[in-house]
Structure 1
Amino acid sequence: MQSYVDKLHNALWKISEMVLRIVLPCACILLVGYLLFSYTPPKEQGKPIKQWTEYRLIENSTYQIQTGTDDICPTLISKTTNELFAELLTKTVRALPMNFSARNVHQCNLFTQIYGDQLEVSQEEMEFPLAFSFNIHKEFYQFARLFRAVYRHHNSYCIHVDAKADETFRRQVGDLATCFGPNVHVIPLRQSISIHWADFGTVEAWIQCAKFFLKQSPIQWRYMLNGSGQEFPLLTNWELVKALKAINGSNIVESDYSPRFRSRIPKKPLSFKLTWVKGSIYTALRKEMVRFALTNNYAKEILAALRSESKQKLCQDEMFFSTINYNPYFKAPGGCLVAKNPNDSDPRSTFVARYVDWYPKPCLSKLSQREVCIMGVRDIPKLTKRYEFFVNKFLPDFEPVAYDCLEWWLFRKIRDERDFGRTATSFNASFYSDLYCSSNHL
């Protein structure tokens, strides 16, 4: 008969086996979890892009979705995105405000990084520096994120802050310029323009930056691009360089000959004949064209005529660049010899400087501002397939997941360029070389 001691020994052994089967796996899981969440690889330390952002449903301030762009954005951008998922994202906002102080050295260093590293620049980019000008007046953090996306140490940058902007905003922009480097210039307040919608102030602000680029910037830039603070790039800097090289010395300027714009033509007579052309204020102009716009007698007379009626607020600013670019008689450098109104059915006519959805085209977000659709969650999949340089426009508190995911998508392209030493395989430079003006220009 088995002794009492043997029975007790067997019972204790079975209990110990049970403990090992239950407790040890749990302990291992806890240990692994601890290591995953407490250990950060050296390359990722201080990473400025939050991989885990908390969102909350607008209808329920207590319910939060603890997830990140690495989870949400691939699904949003993919072909499998369903309407239920998109609808949920339209009703989410960031649980915590996103902000930083450019004056704080530590925060500045982290903010200027992308995926934990300072940006690397290819040799092709180094040999083709660009000049960027921005005209802004509010929403500092949104502009700071845009600026981080386009900044490279070898380019030249000029920021015009509206004269009406408050002192805090202007100080923040100055701190941002200092944070990024000496190749960022902010137009002084005494030279700033007070801009009102539909007046000529946007061109006046462009002129301030153009003068700086031509007379003071030490960088030998090739093209000048201008923008606002409510946009976001669709191309990396390397892709942008390849696209601008592909247009073969032409300019990116929109043309529109629609009769409905005739009311914008100034009544002041000119000393020469011309065809007035309407187009976007946003352009990509070769350096010689920028100099032409400021110094050529034809351009100066056109500028004076448009200025004379700027108080009427008829969007005369949209007549300047297009008119000097599409009148071959002026012999503007890179001026186009074939004017085509942009047409979705004709890719060669695409105005690649900017993607905008205009009224009466339905807005996927169901929100517009001055006939311009505000980009939202449902727009992101199509934007990742567009060829335009920038997209306009975003509002900071409207469907913020959309902006976050477009930034995530662009930064992944930038990271892949660094890791693989090439632009994305989806990038097609021939699209730009096939544009009408690329092969038909002065």
Structure 2
Amino acid sequence: MFVQLLRAIYVPQNVYCIHVDEKAPKKHKTAVQTLVNCFENVFIASKRKKVAYTGFTRLQADINCMRDLVHSKFQWNYVINLCGQDFPIKTNKEIIHYLRSKWNDKNITPGVIQPANIKLKTSQSRPEFSPEENICVSPNTRFKYEAPHNLTIYFGSAYYVLTRKFVEFILTDIRAKDMLQWSKGIRSPEHHYWVTLNRLKDAPGATPNAGWEGNVRAVKCRHEEGNVHDGCKGHYVQDTCVYGLGDLPWIIQSPSLFAHKFEPSADPLVVRCLERRHRWAVLRQADVPAEPHWHFPQQSHFNMDLN
């Protein structure tokens, strides 16, 4: 899945920071390192964490990569975070067009202020507990401490598109640093951290009045059946749909840049179909004539016994 994802999103003018979970087997780390060594603009994060996906370590892993990207020799304008179970719906050219035409140097952090009935009360926060990613989560109902600097806490997507100036801001601003420390005591802080800081009026590229707009990730959550989507054609894992072949029409019609969640071990044809569709779109949009070796080899997925 990692190879297919990198192959789909790779272009030589971008730069890619890969965070490999410190808990990963040595064989897996070696395989990723071997692949990364083939590209000058792809590297593994200098600091790696044992990630618990509802805990602070997931947020810290993103920030570690951002720090490496800021100090790298490569020039870049936006950072987009992906996980190993994502896949692009749009091509790199389409993503750039969307960012320039719809957002114009603004950050995309879909989310809203915490619901009015949720109050910041002193309570024991929940520890990191889940080895599985869950992006269809609810807001924290209680926080252990009041937020620093009287920040108004928002709840939103863990996925984002951030400008370079905003990344530099979160790495240096005292409010961002203090909120990062505060985030160590809450569940799934990545659903609060980015969207809250992007609502600060003086933050670079901020969108103080934004809501859920911003088509970053197409996800089917169980509680949105019949409203946002027509049900999961694969299976649910912690209320998030792992796509099946029947979900492909919905994914393809989505305006989002990427889709989540894929598990090739469950149904390898889902990613394979999307990968081929994505490759054809890239080749159609190419500014130079396509060379034969850019195409995937033709494969048949049917075994026929003619004897």
**What band does the TM-score fall into relative to the shorter chain?**
0.7 to 0.9
2:168 corresponds to which residue? 291
In 2, Cα distance between equivalents of 1:316 and 1:219? 29
Contact 2:222–2:240 at 8 Å: present in 1 too? yes
Contact 1:359–1:373 at 8 Å: present in 2 too? yes
Q: One-letter code of the match for 2:73?
A: P
In 1, Cα distance between equivalents of 2:4 and 2:215? 22
Q: By how many angstroms is 1:147 displaced?
A: 0.4
Partner SS state of residue 19, structure 2: strand
1:169 corresponds to which residue? 28
1:315 is aligned to 2:173: no
Specify every segment of 5 or more residues in structure 2 that has no aligned partner in the other structure, as ranges: 119-137, 226-230, 290-307
Q: By how many angstroms is 1:420 displaced?
A: 7.5
2:281 corresponds to which residue? 413
Q: By how many angstroms is 1:270 displaced?
A: 4.6
Contact 1:266–1:305 at 8 Å: present in 2 too? no
Return closer, same or farther for 1:262/1:242 CA change in 2, 3 Å cut-off: closer
Give % identity. 29
1:432 corresponds to which residue? none
If the length of structure 1 is used for normalisation, what is the TM-score?
0.57
Q: By how many angstroms is 1:197 displaced?
A: 2.9
Give CA-to-partner distance per residue, 1:94-139, whole Å, 9 cap, x none.
Answer: xxxxxxxxxxxxxxxxxxxxxxxxxxxxxxxxxxxxxxxxxxxxxx
Partner SS state of residue 256, structure 1: strand
Q: Answer 1 or 2: which has greater helix percent.
A: 1
In 1, Cα distance between equivalents of 2:181 and 2:280? 45
Give CA-to-partner distance per residue, 1:237-258, whole Å, 9 cap, x none.
Answer: 1111111112111111111335
Aligned residues: 262
Greater shift in the superposed pair: 289-298 or 263-272: 263-272
In 1, Cα distance between equivalents of 2:82 and 2:250? 21
1:332 corresponds to which residue? 203
Contact 2:234–2:247 at 8 Å: present in 1 too? no
Return closer, same or farther for 1:271/1:226 CA change in 2, 3 Å cut-off: closer
Structure of larger gyration radius:
1
Give CA-to-partner distance per residue, 1:170-200, whole Å, 9 cap, x none.
Answer: 0010011112x11111124xx2101113101
1:150 corresponds to which residue? 9
1:11 corresponds to which residue? none
Contact 1:264–1:316 at 8 Å: present in 2 too? no
Q: How does 1:89-108 map to 2 (within 5 A)?
A: none
Greater shift in the superposed pair: 160-169 or 352-361: 352-361
Considering Cα pairs closer than 8 Å and 6+ residues apart, tell me whether 1 or 2 has the greater RCO.
2
1:195 corresponds to which residue? 51
Partner SS state of residue 152, structure 1: coil
Return closer, same or farther for 1:338/1:196 CA change in 2, 3 Å cut-off: same
Q: One-letter code of the match for 1:301?
A: D
Partner SS state of residue 326, structure 1: coil
Partner SS state of residue 167, structure 2: helix
In 2, Cα distance between equivalents of 1:250 and 1:144? 30
In 2, Cα distance between equivalents of 1:396 and 1:264? 35
Q: By how many angstroms is 1:389 displaced?
A: 1.1
In 1, Cα distance between equivalents of 2:147 and 2:95? 37
Give CA-to-partner distance per residue, 1:7-65, whole Å, 9 cap, x none.
Answer: xxxxxxxxxxxxxxxxxxxxxxxxxxxxxxxxxxxxxxxxxxxxxxxxxxxxxxxxxxx
Q: By how many angstroms is 1:361 displaced?
A: 2.8
Moved over 4 A (4+): none
Partner SS state of residue 397, structure 1: coil
Q: How does 1:318-397 map to 2 (within 5 A)?
A: 318-328=191-201, 331-340=202-211, 342=212, 349=213, 351-362=214-225, 363-397=231-265
In 2, Cα distance between equivalents of 1:271 and 1:228? 29
1:182 corresponds to which residue? 40
In 1, Cα distance between equivalents of 2:234 and 2:108? 30
In 2, Cα distance between equivalents of 1:285 and 1:419? 27
Give CA-to-partner distance per residue, 1:52-99, whole Å, 9 cap, x none.
Answer: xxxxxxxxxxxxxxxxxxxxxxxxxxxxxxxxxxxxxxxxxxxxxxxx
| Cα RMSD after superposing both structures | 1.8
Which of these residues, 225, 250, 255, is aligned with residue 111 of structure 2?
255
Partner SS state of residue 391, structure 1: strand
Q: One-letter code of the match for 1:289?
A: F
Contact 2:114–2:153 at 8 Å: present in 1 too? no
